[in-house]
Amino acid sequence: DNEAQSAALAEKKLAGRTDPSRLDRISAMIVATATHQVPPFDGATATRDASLFLDMDLSILGAAPDAFDAYERAVRREYHWVEELMWRAGRSAVLKSFLARPHIFHTQEFRQRFEPQARENIARSLAALANG
């Protein structure tokens, strides 16, 4: 529930510093990092902002292999309490969900820059998870 907690913290820290509708959009974008699906906003600008925000959050997937591998190790440390077999199954499901999408990234800019490397990194990570 770290996404919901982060959104609540943003709402608390930004309350009174921006208009409520903007704060609602900020909160929705933070919560959307749980699924990486763009929230249904009314305006094209908010949708574009959310797309960029989510793509930035996922950009590590398309990083150089050594940086991606370090990220994967950090995620495993974050979930150290999860039993190994459960970890492999859960992490594999998450990574497979990204590969199943027509595009990992929402914007053309991020697709061009990161998509091929992201797919390679994810495939390599899935192989490592399968092989133990």
Q: What is the pLDDT of residues 72-104, one digit of tens each?
A: 999 999 999 999 999 999 999 999 999 999 999
Residue 28 pLDDT = 95
The pLDDT assigned to 96 comes to 98
**pLDDT at residue 15 is higher than 90:** yes
The whole-number pLDDT of residue 132 equals 81
pTM of the model: 0.90
For 28-44, what is each residue's pLDDT tens digit?
A: 999 999 999 999 999 99
Query: pLDDT class for 1, splitting at 50, 70, 90?
Result: confident
| C-beta separation of 92 from 126 below 8 A | yes
Read off the pLDDT of residues 47-64 as tens digits, 9 standing for 90 and up: 999 999 999 999 999 999
Pair of tokens at residue 51:
């797309």
Amino acid letter for position 11: E
3-state class percentages of the chain: helix first, strand second, coil last, to nearest 5: 75, 0, 25
